[in-house]
């Protein structure tokens, strides 16, 4: 017989807190991994007004045999 085999309150609290903390870390990692990455245009729009973006969005290029496209994505006549 072990007379002192009962766990103390702080030991029980640690045993409960460790799995809860591990679950919170795991869910946070899943949430961060599943986020959609921010595009460069969104990042430039979210930056402060004085910090302009050096990124320039290129114009669409028509390949050989394709009709030219306008800036709004439509096909030029």
Q: Please, are residues 60 and 69 in contact by the beta-carbon 8 Å criterion?
A: yes
Cα–Cα nearest to 75, from 62, 56, 58: 62
pLDDT of 53-75, one tens digit each?
566 666 666 667 666 666 666 66
Task: Say what percent of the chain tops pLDDT 70.
Answer: 47
Q: Please, are residues 61 and 70 in contact by the beta-carbon 8 Å criterion?
A: no
pTM of the model: 0.43
């Amino acid at each position: 017989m072990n007379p002192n085999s009962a766990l103390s309150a702080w030991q029980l609290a640690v045993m409960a807190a460790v799995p809860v903390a591990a679950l919170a870390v795991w869910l946070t990692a899943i949430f961060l991994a599943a986020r959609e990455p921010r595009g460069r245009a969104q990042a430039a729009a979210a930056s402060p007004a004085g910090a302009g973006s050096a990124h320039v969005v290129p114009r669409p290029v028509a390949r050989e045999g394709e009709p030219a496209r306008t800036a709004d994505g439509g096909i030029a006549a």
